[in-house]
Amino acid sequence: MIKFLDLHKINARFEPKLQEAFQGFLESGHYILGKQVEAFESNFAMYCGSKHCIGTANGLDALVLIFKAYIQLGKLQLNDEVIVPANTYIATILSIVHAGLKPVLVEPDEQTFNISPDAIENSISDKTKAILAVHLYGQLADMFAINKIAEHHNLLLIEDAAQAHGTVENSNFKVPNLKFITEESTTHYPLPTSHLKRAGNFGHAAAFSFYPSKNLGCLGDGGAVTTNDDELANCIRLMRNYGSSKKYVNELVGINSRLDEIQAAFLNIKLKSLDADNDKRREIAARYFAEINNKKIMLPFYDGTKNHVFHTFVVRVDDRNDFTAYLDKNSIGWLIHYPIPPHLQMALSNYNQLSFPITERIHQSVVSIPMSPVMTQNEVTTVINVINRY
């Protein structure tokens, strides 16, 4: 059986260092917002090329905190409209709802699966105050075009980068050799030069998830916000910790959403391998593109640059039930991202009457096939051969 994703095998590569980090964490006696969180926030901000990183309990909270902080700062008001892709994971839309804002769902580009700039432009009203762009499946949205729209209409631009850790806009750019902070050193290194453009540094703020299956994953839950806005960063730091900068002194109505110290320690270890892991994913994707040759299978769009980190490799088929049954019979793991579009979920009943034909076609036909940095060449060959025989 070739698993869709073997998390144990992914994390086993780091086991000695993870055990050492846990022992150090245990002996430190400091379990919340300690040196490991501080180090990871500095490391990940530097990695993304952003000025600030604020660790949170999970990716959904990261998005919610961005919107609530903008409301606190007076840049958004309750019931303001936020444009969001209709074909995203429901958490993206829930973040807008939880913040007391109104999601305006728009169609994606059917080729890239990402939000269509034309659809954004056509959906802007006098109530529109923000755009939430999603880098779905690990492919960077068209941030050049979306930024132009946001600037023209004076809109906030937020990235949902939960699936896009390490995605680079310019594939010709040579990523610098970053010197990360370790437990022994808490020196804050300067930011890379401004032309480093990774996911998390294209809009006014971005949210990341470190759910275990992500390209950079915790051994539990975790998330983060990145931004270059000092005022926003300070507000989110307060809001994630009960609205408090000093114990028992509460300046804002906040929540409890802090990145765990132990998860930060694990992320500090795994971050150093993220670029290499993303390169391995691209190598596997390159084989899929070159060697899968079956007219029944529609391969995803890819321009060959580093603007895709292949969090998932998503193909499309006309008869998904038949195809997935075939994969099961041949012991090939698979997953569907996502079987029911958000606007048809019971949780979003106010949207059930809406029609998004492109979104619905995508959700009815997509299947994610095995993709991870620990797949062997033989496993990749087996997946290709099985799919070609379908």
% of residues, the chain, pLDDT over 70: 93
Looking at residue 181, what is its pLDDT? 57
3-state secondary structure of 23: helix
Instruction: For domain 274-389, give its CATH number from 3.40.630.10, 3.30.1950.10, 1.10.520.10, 3.90.1150.10.
Output: 3.90.1150.10
pLDDT digits (tens, 9 = 90+) for 239-278: 999 999 888 999 999 999 999 999 999 999 999 999 999 9
Would the pLDDT of 194 be above 50?
A: no
- Give the per-residue pLDDT at 184: 46
SS3 180: coil
- Residues 71-127 have pLDDT tens digits of 999 999 999 999 999 999 999 999 999 999 999 999 999 999 999 999 999 999 999
* Pairwise CA distance, residues 78 & 350, whole Å: 18
pTM over 0.85: yes
The SS3 assignment for 103 reads strand
What percent of the chain is modeled with pLDDT above 90? 92
Cis peptide upstream of residue 302 (ω within 30 degrees of 0): no
Q: How many CB atoms lie within 10 A of CB 281?
A: 23
Confidence of residue 191 (pLDDT cuts 50, 70, 90): very low
Residue 193 has pLDDT above 80, yes or no: no
pLDDT, residue 159, reads 98
Q: What is the mean pLDDT of residues 115-141?
A: 97
Is the peptide bond between 89 and the residue preceding it cis, with omega within 30 degrees of 0? no
pLDDT tens digits for range 8-58: 999 999 999 999 999 999 999 999 999 999 999 999 999 999 999 999 999
At 323-369, the pLDDT tens digits run: 999 999 999 999 999 999 999 999 999 999 999 999 999 999 999 99
Q: Which band of pLDDT confidence, cut at 50, 70 and 90, is reported for residue 170?
A: low
Q: How confident is the model at residue 196 (pLDDT cuts 50, 70, 90)?
A: low
Check residue 77 and report its DSSP letter.
-
Tokens 């307060």 label which residue?
A: 238
Mean pLDDT, residues 378-390: 98
Rounded CA-CA distance 70/323 in Å is 45
Residue 210 buriedness (CB in 10 A; 0-12 / 13-18 / 19+): buried
Domain ranges of the chain: 7-106+113-271, 274-389
pLDDT the model gives residue 197: 84
CB-based contact 139:308 (threshold 8 Å): yes
Q: What is the DSSP letter of 155?
A: -
Which token pair is 240?
A: 């994630």
| Strands of the 128-134 sheet, one edge to the other | 52-56, 223-227, 205-209, 156-160, 128-134, 81-85, 102-106
| Sequence-separated (6 or more) residues with CB below 8 Å from residue 127 | 79, 80, 81, 102
Q: Looking at residues 295-300, what average pLDDT do you find?
A: 98
- Do 7-106+113-271 and 274-389 have matching folds? no
Q: Is the pLDDT of residue 180 over 90?
A: no
Q: Which CATH number fits domain 7-106+113-271: 3.30.450.90, 3.40.640.10, 3.40.50.2000, 3.90.1150.10?
A: 3.40.640.10
